[in-house]
Amino acid sequence: MNVRELEKNVLVNYNLVYCFNNNNNNNNNKEAEKILKYKDLTIEIQRMWHVKTKVIPVIIGATGTISDSFRKYVSNIPGKHEVKELQKTAILSTAHILRKVLL
């Protein structure tokens, strides 16, 4: 794999926040947390492979809540992404987990 191929690759870490609080504050905090958490990995990838890197936090609340900057972050990921579909996936995942725990 050469450097040009590496420049096209995207590493995305997505996170489902299991918090039933509907305010965006928790999502904003989680975004900042993820950016700080992966800062060292970003620096290491830049050093090893000589490519530009950036962390794109994709945080969706358990009830489908998203932060104000969510759409901006998702637009940085190559491909087509429907926000409603991502929210639907988060809600269905939450329902699945609740079903497993409660039944």
Q: What angle do CA 58, 29, 57 make, to 5 degrees?
A: 20
Look at residue 11 in the predicted model and tell me its pLDDT: 62
Name the pLDDT band for 8 (thresholds 50, 70, 90).
low
Is the overall model pTM greater than 0.75, yes or no? no
The answer, yes or no, to whether residue 20 has pLDDT greater than 60, is: no
Residues 10, 77 contacting (CB under 8 angstroms): yes
The mean pLDDT value for 44-51 works out to 87
Q: Residue 9 and residue 51: Cα distance in Å, rounded?
A: 10
Give the number of other CB atoms < 10 A from CB of residue 14.
14
Tell me what the mean pLDDT of segment 25-49 comes to.
Answer: 85
Cβ neighbour number for residue 61 with a 10 Å cutoff: 24
pLDDT (average), residues 4-24: 57
Q: Report d(CA 93, CA 44) in Å as an integer.
A: 32
